Structure 1
Amino acid sequence: MITKPMLAIAAGLCGTLFVGYCIYFDYKRHKDPEFKRKLKERRRANKESSGLSRRPAANFPDMKDHEAIQKFFLQEVQSGEELLAAGDVGNAIDHLANAVAVCGQPNELLRVLQQTLPPHVFNLLVQRLPAIAPRALRQERQMQEEDVE
């Protein structure tokens, strides 16, 4: 007959053995010379698959050329709409964020997008904007520096 104290002791022993097993294999894993290399590769692969480097950076137009900006804006909005319709939300958000970055009146565009996009997509777009805007400004500065040289 098994009593409650015996059951508690057996459960405690099993728990202790399991924790010891976990500590032992974690120790072995960290001592593996290939561990850091494998960890870096896995993190890089996760970063790439999570969408942080989903596609190459957009080639923003010269911000002084209004016709090029307008063409780029329309192209990005159209691409974003097409990708949304196809179900590729991640790339669609990138294109729409590029359009907002070059838009002359981004607040107006964001209001329109807020009314037309599903709320979760709009929230993802707003989260993506801080990463896109500096890229557009950085590219504009590079073009200005090239003009000076």
Structure 2
Amino acid sequence: MSPNRATTIAIGVGAVLLTSVAGYAVWFDYRRQTDKDFRRKIRKQNKKVSKVVEAENSAKGARTQQDLISAIIEISQEPTPTTPEESEKYFMENVAIGEKLSTLGPDAYVHAATSFYRALRIYPAPAELMQIYEKTVLPPVFAIVKELIGIANVIAQQSSRPAEAGIDGGEGEEDEEAMIAALQAAVAGAGRE
């Protein structure tokens, strides 16, 4: 088989494929424009897909918010460094961890943001550090850090009036789940304001 014959066959096969794709596109467009049942079927498929995507996103969002609330509770129970040297070491370690985790991709963003929040929590000038974070931290991670701050503020407000929030400060897994549920309701209510 000569090179010219192989080229001719390849061009012929390519032309047939291109013609069939173009023909299918024309048929699909004609059918979409003229057949009401076909349009309904397409709309139903689009609605199913969008419902599935929406359900996945809302489940992911609820899980992330619960993760953030749990992280804030865990961080608030951690002891804070007492000496300036310990504070500096704690700050540098958490910033380094946050930077490493933020390079790992979206799955690690929550953990990266909690590390940045730990560093922010002990920093003497948090407003200045937030401005630095805004310029240096990835935008999705920075948004999570801001969300952590908002959740921490809601928790601080709710802990100042535990009876209203439905938080009794008891021990145990059921009490922790009730506290998380009450905090999620409070955070959702604060987010609507």
1:141 matches 2:157? yes
Unaligned runs of 5+ in 2: 1-24, 169-193
User: What amino acid is aligned across from residue 64 of structure 2 in structure 1?
Assistant: S
Structure-1 separation of matches of 2:117 and 2:134: 13
- In 2, are the aligned partners of 1:101 and 1:136 still within 8 Å (CA)? no
Q: How does 1:1-149 map to 2 (within 5 A)?
A: 15-19=29-33, 20=35, 23-29=39-45, 35=48, 39=51, 42-47=53-58, 53=64, 55-57=67-69, 58=71, 59=73, 60-61=75-76, 68-70=79-81, 78-79=93-94, 81-86=96-101, 87-89=103-105, 90=109, 91-97=111-117, 99-100=119-120, 103-113=123-133, 117=136, 121-146=137-162
Normalized against structure 1, the TM-score is what? 0.50
Unaligned runs of 5+ in 1: 1-10
Structure-2 change in CA distance of 1:139 and 1:77 (3 Å): farther
Tell me the SS of whatever aligns to 1:53: helix
Root mean square deviation, CA, Å: 4.6
Number of residue-to-residue matches in the alignment: 124
Larger helix fraction of residues:
2
Structure-2 separation of matches of 1:110 and 1:48: 29
Structure-2 separation of matches of 1:146 and 1:51: 23
Q: Deviations along 1:47-92, whole A, 9 cap, x unmatched?
A: 4557971734221528xxxx94558x87687355325325335120
Higher Cα Rg: structure 1 or 2?
2
- In 1, are the aligned partners of 2:113 and 2:144 still within 8 Å (CA)? yes
